[in-house]
Structure 1
Amino acid sequence: MSQARTTHQDALRHMVDIGIRLSSERDTTKLLEDILQAARDLTNADGGTIYSITDNNQLKFETLINDSLNLYLGGVSGDSIPFPNIPIYHDDGNPNTNALVAVAAATGEIINIEDAYNCSEYDLSAARSMDQKNGYHTLSVLTIPMKNHEGLLNGVLQLINAQEGDKVVPFQPPAIEQVQTLTSMASVALNNRHLIDSMESLFQSLTRLIAKAIDEKSPYTGGHCRRVPELTMIFAEAVHNTEQGPLATFRMTDADRYELSIAGWLHDCGKIATPEYVMDKATKLQTLYDRISLVDAKLEIAKRDLEIRFLKQIYQAERSGDDELCQRLQSELEQQLISIEEDRCFLHKINIGSEFMAPEDQQRVRHIGKDMQVEIGGEVQNLLSDDEMYNLSIAKGTLTAEERKIVNRHMDITLEMLEALPFPKHLRRVPEYAGGHHEKMDGTGYPRGLTREQMSVPARIMAIADIFEALSASDRPYKNAKKISECLYIMGKLKLSNHIDPDLFDIFIDHKVYLSFAERFLKAEQIDDIDYSKIPGYIPPESRQ
C-alpha cells in the first residue's frame, strides 16, 4: 500500500472519528471547542478562535487558543474571554470591514491569507496591534464561515499560523478542504444541537406555562405548581450528595435533573381539568357564592318569627295585666335571640373549615338545622337543608367526599395526559415521577395504590416535597400558615405511619432541605427553631446503625 493511500485513509478515519465525537456532544460550548481543536489538529495551527452568532448579528468569542502565547480562554477552560462581541454589520447595514471574521461572516467566503503583514486586501490593523501588544507575529490566517444545510451562518472559525516543523507556513489546499469538510459536519452538529436545545427550551417553557395557568385558576393554591418543583430539586440535590445510609449510591446526571424538573413542573397538570368551583371552594358552603349569607337570611327570618310569636304573647299578657308573665316572656325572648346569635356565630366559624371538626360540633350542626324551623313562602322548613348540614359537617377542610374525589381525580387526569405524550427516551420517566406524589409507602395512596418498593426514588422525593409545600403554604383557605416545626412534626407522624419514605425524610432533616426552601418561599414568622428530639420518628445520623 502506498504512503499516499495510507495518509488518505488515516485522514478519512480521523475525520470519521471527529464526526462521531461532534455528533455525540450535548454541550454546545464544548462542541464549539471540539470543532476548534479538530481544525487545529487538521492544519497544525498554532492558534485559533471560534465564534458563535448572536441574535443581533454579532460574533461572540466562544473559545480562544494559542499555544505559543499559552492562551486558553473560553470554552470549558473556566476563564472568560475579555473581548466584546464583533458586529457583522455597521449600523448603516454595510459589512464591518474592520474585522476579518466579520467580513467572512458577511460575505460567506473563505479567507486565506498567506502573510498578514503583506496583505492590502483586508484591514488587518487590529491583528497587528494585538501582535505588538502580545509580542506575537501573525503570518498565515484562515477564516472559514460555518453554514448549516440551509446556508444559514451559525459560526465562524479562524485559524492562525499553520506550522511545519519550526516554520510558519501558509494553509495548504488539502488541509483547507479537510477543514471545510469539518465545518460542514460541525454546522450540522451545531444545527442539530440548536434545534434540540430550542425544543427542550420550548418544552420547558410550556411546562411552566401550564403550571402558571393552573396556579392562576385558584387564588388558594397560587404558586403551588411553582414551589413544588423548586423544593423537589433542592431535595433531590441533597439526596444526590448523601454519602452514607441506604441512599448513599443515589446519583443524578444532568439529564436526570432535567427529567425530574420537567416532572415537577407537570406534577399537577391534571388540575387544568378540575372545576374552579371545587378548586376555589374556600368555605364549606361555597358554590358560586358563599351560602352562609343564605343561612344568615334564614336566621333573620327565624328571629323575626320568634319575635312576632313572643310579642303576641307579651301583648296578651299586658292586656290581662300579668306583669310577671310579661317579664318572663321578655326574658325568654332575649335568651332565645342570644341563642340564635350564638348559633349564627358558630355556623360562621365552622363554615371556614379546619383540619379537624369535633363530633360534638357536627352534632350541633344537625341540632341547629333540624330543631329550628322557618316559614318561607308559606312553607315551613328546617333552618338548614340536608345539603347545607352535610357541607357544614365536613370534618376536615372544606370539601365533601364527592368533591374530594373530583380533586383527587386530577391525578388520574395527570397520568392520562402525560402517558399520552410521546416523550423521548431521556424523558420517559416523567409520568412515573409526576404521577406518584400522592402515593403512600404502605400502598394506601392514590391514584394507583403503589407501595414504596414500586416507586422510584425521585417519585418518593416528590411525594415528600408536595406534602411539605402543602403544610407550609400560606394560601390555603382552611388553615393558617404552619411553622416549620409544626410541618416537621406532622411529617414525622407520617413517617411513623408508613406514609412517606423514612430514609428520605431523614435526609430532608439531615440536610436541612426544609430550611433552604423556607428561606426562599416562606414567611419569616414561619421559620422557627427546630428541636429534633420532638420530631416523631426522626433519628439523628450519629444514632443510626
Structure 2
Amino acid sequence: MSSGQIKQRFRLRFRSRSLVVTLFLLLQLAPLFALTLGAPPLLVLGLSVGILLCTMPLVLGGMQSIDRTLDLLVQDTQRIRQMDFSGELPPASLFAEIETLNRNHIDMKAALQSQTQALQASQLKLASLVENGLLLSAERDRDALLRHILMQGKRTCNAQAATLYLKTEHGTLRFALRSMDDELPTIEIPLHDPHSGAPNERHVSTYAALHNETVVIDDVYTESRFDLSGTRRFDSDSGFHTVSMLTVPLAPRGGEVIGVLQFMNALDVETDEVIAFSPPVVAFIGALASQAAVALENHNLIDSQRALIDGMIEILAGAIDAKSPYTGAHCERVPELAMMLAEAASEVNEGPLAGFRFTTADEWREFRIGAWLHDCGKITTPEHVVDKATKLETIYNRIHEVRMRFEVLLRDAQIERLQQLQDGRNPAQADAHYHATAQALQDEFAFIAGCNIGGELMNPEHVGTLHNAGERTWLRHFDDRLGLSTAELARVAELPVEPLPALERLLADKPQHIFPRPETKELAPKYRFQVSVPEHLYNYGELYNLSISKGTLTAEERFKINEHIIQTIVMLENLPLPSNLKRVPEYAGTHHETLLGTGYPRKLDKSQLSIPARIMAIADIFEALTASDRPYKQAKTLSESIAILATLRDKGHIDADLFALFLRSELPMRYAQRHLHPDQIDFIDIERFVPASQPVEQLAAVSATH
C-alpha cells in the first residue's frame, strides 16, 4: 500500500470517527433531554439502560480492535527484529492515534525492508567479489580466466551484454571476448594516431585505456563526447539496442592499463527495464576490475615466465647441439619424436596403453620440458670426447705426432745409409738395408694408422703387432718440458728428468698420460646410481688408446660420455622445480634404461619405468640411428633403424606396445619426411615387424620373456 493510499484512508477514517463521537454524545444526553421535556422517570431510566446496552458493545468492540491492532503491531515488530518482512499489514483502526501508530509502523517497515534489501545486495556483491578473487587466483587457463572476468562483471552489474578488450604489444586494443555469441571483430583500435602519434580519445574504450578512467554513459544516442558510430552500426546490423554503457579500464595497482571492460544496458532487477549504471554498481565493477587486472597481470607474468623458461631450455638444448657438429639437432629432434609418440599413445583406448593419458596442459608441458632437457648434462661433456673420431684423438688427432716419429726414424735410416757409404760399406748392402727399413716403417705406420681409425674389431694378434711396433726407439734431443702449461708441468713434476739425448719409444703409455679422477658429489649414494666408475678420469696412453678393441673410445671416455645422463639427473634433481614440473628429472633421466634393468645409470626395470620414460627411450634410439652427423657411424636407413629397434624389442630392452604403436601410427615415415636425407627413406614392411595377426598384448608378452 502506498503512502498516498494510507493518507487517504486516514482522512476517511477521521471523518467517520467524528460522526461516531457526535452520535455517541447525543445518545448519552438523550435521557437528560427526556427529563427536561418532562418524560416519566421510568421511561428515562429505560431509555438510559437501552442506550447503555447499545453503546457498550461499541466500546468493547473498539477496545478489542485497539488490542488486536496493537498485538499485530507487536508481532510484526518482533518479526522485523528477525529481519522477517513477510507479515501482513495491520488492519485500519477507527482511532486516529492507533491509525497514526499503524501508519508510522508501515513506513518504518518499508524503510527497513528497503535498506535491508540494499544491504543484502551489497553483501552478496561483496561475497561475490571475495569469491571472484579466489576463483581468479586459482584459474590457470587463460581463456577460462578471461571468460570468468567478463561474465562475472556482467552478472555484478546485471548488464545485458559485455565486451573485453586487451591491450596489444603494438599499442592497440583488440577484441578479446564478448558475452554474446556473435563473431569477434578482427580490427584493432589504435591508442594513438599512427601518423601524428596523438592519443586517440575519440572512442570511449581508448579514452578509458589512455586515461585509466571509468566512463559512464546513460544514453548512447545522446552522447556527444565520444564517437559511438561503431556501437550504433552494430545495433543497426544486429537488432540490439544499446542505451546505457559502462567502460572500465583493467589496470593492476600502480601499473599500466592492460585491457578494458565494457558493459551495455544495465537492467532493473525487478522490471528488466534498461536503466543507467548506478554509482554503487560502478564502484563494485571498479573493485572487480581491479581484481581482474591483478589476476590477468599475474597470469601474464606466469605466461611470460613460462615462455622465458621454455626459451632458456630450448637455448640450452640448442647450445648443447651447437657444441658439436656431430650431434646436429639431436636435442631438438628427440622432443619432437617423443611428443609425436606420446600423442599417439594418448589416443589408445584399449590394451596396455589405454590407461596412459596426459590430461592437462601442465602434464604435456612437463613431458616436453623433460624431453628438451634429456641431454642437458652434455653441457659438461668435453667436445673432444663427444667428437672423438679416431683412437688417438684428444683435442687433435695425435696420429700426426706418431707420423712425425716415423719421419724421424726414416731420416735416421737415411743418415745411417749415408754413414755406411762414407764408412766404405758395400753400397748395395747399404741400399738394401735402407730400403728394407723404409718399407718396414711404411708398413708399420700404415698398420698403426689403420688401428687408429677403429673401424674394425681389434683381435689379440693385432694388439701384439701394435706393441711390437711400439718397441722401436728414437732419440729426443730437445727438452720435453719446455713450453708446457702449469697443469702439464704439475703432471710431470714428480717424474725424473731424463738427460738428453733421451731414448724414446715409438709408442708409449707414460705416467703423464693418466689424469686422476677427482672427488665428486655426483656419485653420492643418495642418487642411487649403479655404474662402474673407471679408476682414472682419462688415460691418453698411446698404446692404451690404439689397443681399443671396438670403436674409438676408451673405458674412461665412454664413461665420460655416459656420465652426461648422471649430470642430467643431478642437475635436474637439485633444481627447485615447482609441483607441475616434478617429473622432469624422471622424463629426462631414464632414456638409457632398459626394461630388463640392464641400462644406466640406475638399472631400472620395467616396473620402475613409466610410459613416458619408455617413450623417451624409443625416441632417443631412433633419432640416434637415423642421424647422419655422427662421427663414429653412418646414418641408417628407415628399414635398418626399425630392424634394430625390433631387435631391441625382442631382447626386452624397449616397450613392445609402444614400438608397435610407433610403426602403426606411421611416425617413422612422418619424421623421415621432415628430417632425413632422401636416400635414407626406404620402404618399411610393418607386417614384418608387427604382424597384423599378432595382437599388441601378445607382443608385450613376447618382449617380456626374452
Give the shorter-chain TM-score range.
0.7 to 0.9
The equivalences for 1:25-104 within 5 A come to 25-66=139-180, 71-73=181-183, 81-91=184-194, 92-104=196-208
In the TM superposition, residue 168 of structure 1 has moved relative to its aligned partner by: 2.7
**How far apart are the structure 1 equivalents of 2:172 and 2:161?**
22
User: Contact conserved, 1:43 with 1:175, CA < 8 A, in 2?
Assistant: yes
User: Contact conserved, 1:472 with 1:483, CA < 8 A, in 2?
Assistant: yes
**How far apart are the structure 2 equivalents of 1:514 and 1:117?**
64
**How far apart are the structure 1 equivalents of 2:557 and 2:592?**
17
**Matched residue, 1:290:** 397
Name the aligned partner's letter for residue 385 of structure 2.
V
**Matched residue, 2:376:** 269
Q: 2:252 aligns with which of 120, 145, 148?
A: 148
| Bigger shift: residues 131-140 or 299-308 | 299-308
- Residues 362-400 of structure 1 show CA distances to partners (whole Å, capped at 9, x for unaligned) of 436625633655555465554322422221232333221
User: Contact conserved, 1:365 with 1:393, CA < 8 A, in 2?
Assistant: no
**How far apart are the structure 2 equivalents of 1:127 and 1:72?**
14
**How far apart are the structure 1 equivalents of 2:295 and 2:568?**
35
- Residues 443-476 of structure 1 show CA distances to partners (whole Å, capped at 9, x for unaligned) of 2222222222112221222122222222222221
Q: 1:385 aligns with which of 489, 508, 532?
A: 508
User: Contact conserved, 2:164 with 2:259, CA < 8 A, in 1?
Assistant: yes
**Matched residue, 2:639:** 485
User: Contact conserved, 2:591 with 2:620, CA < 8 A, in 1?
Assistant: yes
- Gapped runs of 5+ residues in structure 2? 1-82, 85-115, 478-500, 510-540, 699-706
| Bigger shift: residues 127-136 or 465-474 | 127-136
Answering whether residue 470 of structure 2 is matched by residue 366 of structure 1, we say no
User: Contact conserved, 2:216 with 2:246, CA < 8 A, in 1?
Assistant: yes
**How far apart are the structure 2 equivalents of 1:428 and 1:199?**
17
Answering whether residue 291 of structure 2 is matched by residue 212 of structure 1, we say no
Name the aligned partner's letter for residue 296 of structure 2.
L
What is the alpha-carbon root mean square deviation over aligned residues?
3.0
User: Contact conserved, 2:191 with 2:210, CA < 8 A, in 1?
Assistant: yes
**How far apart are the structure 2 equivalents of 1:314 and 1:539?**
78
User: Contact conserved, 2:458 with 2:548, CA < 8 A, in 1?
Assistant: no
Answering whether residue 583 of structure 2 is matched by residue 435 of structure 1, we say no
SS at structure 1 position matched to 2:258? strand
Answering whether residue 471 of structure 2 is matched by residue 357 of structure 1, we say no
**How far apart are the structure 2 equivalents of 1:65 and 1:317?**
112
Structure 1 pair 319–210 and aligned structure 2 pair: CA distance change class (3 A): closer
In the TM superposition, residue 306 of structure 1 has moved relative to its aligned partner by: 4.9
**Matched residue, 1:77:** none
Answering whether residue 137 of structure 2 is matched by residue 23 of structure 1, we say yes
SS at structure 2 position matched to 1:161? strand
Name the aligned partner's letter for residue 613 of structure 2.
A
| Bigger shift: residues 30-39 or 127-136 | 127-136
SS at structure 2 position matched to 1:287? coil
| Bigger shift: residues 478-487 or 362-371 | 362-371
Name the aligned partner's letter for residue 234 of structure 1.
M
Please report the TM-score for the alignment, with normalisation by the length of structure 2: 0.68
Answering whether residue 579 of structure 2 is matched by residue 425 of structure 1, we say yes
Structure 1 pair 361–435 and aligned structure 2 pair: CA distance change class (3 A): farther
SS at structure 1 position matched to 2:577? coil
| Bigger shift: residues 245-254 or 268-277 | 268-277
Answering whether residue 680 of structure 2 is matched by residue 526 of structure 1, we say yes
**Matched residue, 1:395:** 549
User: Contact conserved, 1:99 with 1:126, CA < 8 A, in 2?
Assistant: no
User: Contact conserved, 2:458 with 2:550, CA < 8 A, in 1?
Assistant: no
**Matched residue, 1:511:** 665
**How far apart are the structure 2 equivalents of 1:294 and 1:502?**
49
- Residues 195-254 of structure 1 show CA distances to partners (whole Å, capped at 9, x for unaligned) of 211111111111112212222222222322222222221221122122332111100022
Q: 2:366 aligns with which of 247, 255, 259?
A: 259
| Bigger shift: residues 445-454 or 131-140 | 131-140
User: Contact conserved, 1:352 with 1:477, CA < 8 A, in 2?
Assistant: no
In the TM superposition, residue 289 of structure 1 has moved relative to its aligned partner by: 1.5
| Bigger shift: residues 368-377 or 450-459 | 368-377
User: Contact conserved, 2:338 with 2:615, CA < 8 A, in 1?
Assistant: yes
- Residues 160-199 of structure 1 show CA distances to partners (whole Å, capped at 9, x for unaligned) of 2223456332223333233222212211211221121111
In the TM superposition, residue 22 of structure 1 has moved relative to its aligned partner by: 2.6
- Gapped runs of 5+ residues in structure 1? 74-80
Q: 1:201 aligns with which of 279, 283, 307?
A: 307
**How far apart are the structure 2 equivalents of 1:339 and 1:480?**
33
In the TM superposition, residue 10 of structure 1 has moved relative to its aligned partner by: 4.0
User: Contact conserved, 1:53 with 1:59, CA < 8 A, in 2?
Assistant: yes
In the TM superposition, residue 259 of structure 1 has moved relative to its aligned partner by: 0.4
Name the aligned partner's letter for residue 310 of structure 2.
Q
Structure 1 pair 215–319 and aligned structure 2 pair: CA distance change class (3 A): closer
In the TM superposition, residue 341 of structure 1 has moved relative to its aligned partner by: 3.8
**How far apart are the structure 2 equivalents of 1:361 and 1:235?**
47
SS at structure 2 position matched to 1:357? coil
- Residues 391-415 of structure 1 show CA distances to partners (whole Å, capped at 9, x for unaligned) of 1232333221011222222222222
**Matched residue, 1:222:** 328
The equivalences for 1:129-144 within 5 A come to 129-144=233-248
In the TM superposition, residue 424 of structure 1 has moved relative to its aligned partner by: 0.6
**Matched residue, 1:462:** 616
**How far apart are the structure 2 equivalents of 1:448 and 1:463?**
14
**How far apart are the structure 2 equivalents of 1:540 and 1:307?**
72
In the TM superposition, residue 430 of structure 1 has moved relative to its aligned partner by: 1.0
User: Contact conserved, 2:615 with 2:658, CA < 8 A, in 1?
Assistant: yes
Structure 1 pair 359–111 and aligned structure 2 pair: CA distance change class (3 A): same
**Matched residue, 1:414:** 568
Structure with greater Cα Rg = 2
Structure 1 pair 310–489 and aligned structure 2 pair: CA distance change class (3 A): farther
In the TM superposition, residue 426 of structure 1 has moved relative to its aligned partner by: 0.4
Name the aligned partner's letter for residue 415 of structure 1.
I
**How far apart are the structure 2 equivalents of 1:156 and 1:218?**
50
Higher relative contact order (CA 8 A, sep 6+): 1
Name the aligned partner's letter for residue 508 of structure 2.
S
User: Contact conserved, 1:372 with 1:383, CA < 8 A, in 2?
Assistant: yes
**How far apart are the structure 2 equivalents of 1:335 and 1:523?**
49
In the TM superposition, residue 312 of structure 1 has moved relative to its aligned partner by: 7.7
Answering whether residue 262 of structure 2 is matched by residue 158 of structure 1, we say yes
User: Contact conserved, 2:471 with 2:507, CA < 8 A, in 1?
Assistant: no
Structure 1 pair 490–16 and aligned structure 2 pair: CA distance change class (3 A): same
**How far apart are the structure 2 equivalents of 1:215 and 1:380?**
44
**Matched residue, 1:239:** 345
Structure 1 pair 246–366 and aligned structure 2 pair: CA distance change class (3 A): same
Name the aligned partner's letter for residue 382 of structure 2.
P
In the TM superposition, residue 104 of structure 1 has moved relative to its aligned partner by: 0.6
SS at structure 1 position matched to 2:391? coil
**Matched residue, 1:123:** 227
**How far apart are the structure 2 equivalents of 1:310 and 1:530?**
64
